[in-house]
């Protein structure tokens, strides 16, 4: 059964969802996006995602042609049209079609695209037994070059690091910043547990401040777990008691091996397990 896609102002079958080959989103990665999850028909933290989309767009001087309310409705309509209660939504805004040059002022008609589908980022066994990850040689883009707070269509930096992970037999890879500090993984934020406290890199380490990351920090506070944003290096990960990743698609997933070093007991730890359970309860509440 063909999927239904929202394009600008209407729902269309996927084979009619077309973007110009001159669109600067295609030619230069000039645009922004968000990934969202729907649980039992309700989009998790939709407003937070839309706020971040608008912030990213403002940062690159891209005017989104629809209102937040209209896009929220488009998300709901796209999920309904595809008969999805539990699903993943990709919301994309491109710069629009223009000339074969970088000048964004020579573009027109920014494209608003909403895609809804099912997603299974990692096999279920990884959630039960944990991930193995490696550190990529590809560094996180320097924040002075491009702010990591902009969720842009240009993800080549992350893709190159992802390739390194896959070539090492891992489905995810850790990225360091230009100072050798822990930033994030290719698609997920990272947390570790030390002495019963939860630690995660701060925004100035070069991370995208994830919506799921923030939700997990809230859950930890409610559970009485101390949470700190702290500058981390690989030594901190190697010697951690527990480690896990967070992301819209990944949700909360344990990490048990980094660069061949076993983390903690080599199995998902009690705090990780508690937060996974609390997160699932939150998204289904």
Domain coordinates of the chain in residue numbers? 4-117, 124-283
CB atoms within 10 A of CB 262: 12
Helices 211-222 & 270-283 angle (0-180, nearest 10): 110
CATH of the structural domain 4-117, one choice from 3.40.30.10, 3.30.470.10, 3.40.50.620, 3.40.50.300: 3.30.470.10
pLDDT tens series, the chain, 285 aa: 789 999 999 999 999 999 999 999 999 999 999 999 999 999 999 999 999 999 999 999 999 999 999 999 999 999 999 999 999 999 999 999 999 999 999 999 999 999 999 988 788 899 999 999 999 999 999 999 999 999 999 999 999 999 999 999 999 999 999 999 999 999 999 999 999 999 999 999 999 999 999 999 999 999 999 999 999 999 999 999 999 999 999 999 999 999 999 999 999 999 999 999 999 999 988
Q: What's the pLDDT score for residue 237?
A: 98
Which candidate in 151, 179, 222, 277 is catalytic? 151
Q: Is 108 noted as a catalytic residue in this protein?
A: no
Query: Which H helix or E strand runs over 162?
Result: helix 156-167
Longest Cα–Cα distance of the chain, Å, equals 57
Q: What's the pLDDT score for residue 123?
A: 87
Distances (CA, A) of 11 to 46, 108, 111, 217: 20, 21, 13, 36
Q: What's the pLDDT score for residue 120?
A: 80
CB atoms within 10 A of CB 265: 11
Does this chain's domain 4-117 share its CATH topology with 124-283? no
Q: What's the pLDDT score for residue 60?
A: 98
Domain 124-283 is of which CATH architecture?
Answer: Alpha-Beta Barrel (3.20)
Q: What's the pLDDT score for residue 65?
A: 97
Q: How far apart are the first and last CA of the chain?
A: 31
Structure tokens that stand for 141 in this block: 């883009």
């Amino acid at each position: 059964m063909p999927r239904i896609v929202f394009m600008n102002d209407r729902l269309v079958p996927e084979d009619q969802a077309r973007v110009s080959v001159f669109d600067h989103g295609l030619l230069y990665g000039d645009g922004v996006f968000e990934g969202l999850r729907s649980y039992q028909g309700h989009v998790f933290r939709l407003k937070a995602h839309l706020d971040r989309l608008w912030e990213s767009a403002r940062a690159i001087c891209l005017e989104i042609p629809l209102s937040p309310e209209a896009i929220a409705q488009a998300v709901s309509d796209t999920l309904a049209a595809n008969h999805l209660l539990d699903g993943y939504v990709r919301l994309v805004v491109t710069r629009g079609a223009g000339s074969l040059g970088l000048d964004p002022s020579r573009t027109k008609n920014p494209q608003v695209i909403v895609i809804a589908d099912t997603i299974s980022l990692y096999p279920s066994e990884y959630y039960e037994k944990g991930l193995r990850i490696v550190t990529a040689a590809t560094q996180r883009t320097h924040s002075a070059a491009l702010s990591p707070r902009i969720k842009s269509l240009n993800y080549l930096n992350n893709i190159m690091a992802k390739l390194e992970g896959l070539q090492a037999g891992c489905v995810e890879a850790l990225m360091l910043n230009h100072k050798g500090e822990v930033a994030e993984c290719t698609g997920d934020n990272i947390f570790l547990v030390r002495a019963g406290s939860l630690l995660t890199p701060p925004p100035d380490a070069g991370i995208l401040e994830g919506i799921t990351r923030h939700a997990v920090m809230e859950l930890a506070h409610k559970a009485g777990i101390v949470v700190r944003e702290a500058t981390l290096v690989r030594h901190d990960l190697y010697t951690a008691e527990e480690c896990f990743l967070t992301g819209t698609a990944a949700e909360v997933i344990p990490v048990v091996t980094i660069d061949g070093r076993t983390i903690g007991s080599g199995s998902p730890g009690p705090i990780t397990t508690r937060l996974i359970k609390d997160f699932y309860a939150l998204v289904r509440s």
